[in-house]
Chain A
Amino acid sequence: MSDDRYPDWEAVYNDNVDRVYRLMYAKVGNRPDAEDLAAEVFVTALRPLRLAASVGEVRAYLLATTRTVLAGYWRRTLGREITVLEEDWALVEPAADSGHTGAGARAEAILAELPERYRRILQLRFLNACSLKEAAAELGVTVGNAKVLQHRALRQAAVVADRMEA
């Protein structure tokens, strides 16, 4: 971006669509919802946008909008804000940010604290996108067992995650 301004809305879009989508994906975990919400951000934000604003301001504004769209989504669907976009994400230096959300590191940190079998099943199911059947084969258990294992592991992981947040 030359002289720190976007020439038109399309430039705003091109420069930020990847980032906004990834932020949403990191917070809702599925593609269709992340797409809907990213779309909502741009539809909401682009119209009243003043292009005389600097690139940094525009990004901060998109983040503010992303945050409120996400909050609205949870309020609408589950009535509770399951995930939030932290305040300081808005402070991320635009230049140093390439759409990277830190989600991978966070998942790793949670898994690292789990007993081996719990870690394995969650890794297979959540990170490697294995089916229950594939995961069961990998672990040498029945599908039914894999299912039970997965639920227990997730419950345990939630305890770990809560502790990490506290």
Chain B
Amino acid sequence: MRGVRRFVKDLLRGRRTKPFTVDRTDESQLRTAIALKAGGADTGPSPEFVESLRERLRTELDDNPPVELPRGNSRRRFVTSVAAASAASIGLGAAIERGLSGAGSAVTAEPPPADQTLMPDNGEWRAVVAAKDLPDGSVRPFDAGTMIGFVRRTSEGLYAVSGVCTHLGCKLALDGPARQLNCPCHNAAFAVDGSVLHHRLPTALAPLPKLMVRESEGVIQVFVPPQPA
């Protein structure tokens, strides 16, 4: 009760609300208080806020400008695709973890773009999983800091693909039993080899870029962009 009162008080004063232990009845009071408060004169963001956030984005993005993921381009610049992938692994990845609906049967036929292996301009081998933890036929997610993805072993060898959706960069989730990689944002799905299984997007969807991968001294390594200094 005290928590609710303080929450409401902060809300009414336009202050940040503070954490407390919430139970079910509290919850509906908080929700209602928010609904009522938000129903008041809605003045929108202040010009100062809009300007300062623009400045902040400018600083952050200019170090590492947003990039276009080329599609259907057989020779990709490693740095380009990877910059997007790594950003997603840092921020978006943690955020996008919603359930998957996966419903619907829309399968879009599209011309399979040429096979794409990222051709690195620079990078480094990074250990991502112990070799013994990747038996034949298995798939494992990895987070190599600057890059997230999935490694896989078959009787033919080792493979790795990027773990970032080629649509708008959401982090993919592995559905092990179905052997597919699901995108929580707009329900696209990729096979573990990176090919597109299905999506309902109005545009074509590129397959996942492949990464170079090797086994060395009992560990699986992938070739990823170097950690920024």
Contact = CB atoms under 8 A, between A and B. Distances in A.
Interface of A: 9-10, 13, 17-18, 21-22, 25-36, 38-39, 42-54, 57-58, 60-61, 64-65, 67-69, 71-72, 77-80, 82-83, 99, 101, 103-108, 110-111, 122, 125-129, 151, 154-155, 157-162
Contact of A79 (B17, B22, B50): B22
B28 A162 contact: yes
A107 B84 CA distance: 41
A162 to B, nearest CB: 5
Contacts of A39: 53, 56
Contacts of A36: 16
Given A38-B45, A79-B22, A28 B17 contact: yes
Contact of B84 (A18, A21, A47, A111): A47
A34 B119 CA distance: 42
B132 interface: no
Interface residues of B, number: 72
A104 B84 contact: no
B178 interface: no
Contacts of B30: 78, 82
Contact of B39 (A28, A78, A99, A127): A127
Contacts, number: 219
A31 to B, nearest CB: 5
A5 B12 CA distance: 40
Given A35-B49, A47-B88, A50-B168, 7 more contacts: A48-B91, A52-B69, A57-B168, A103-B39, A108-B39, A122-B36, A126-B39
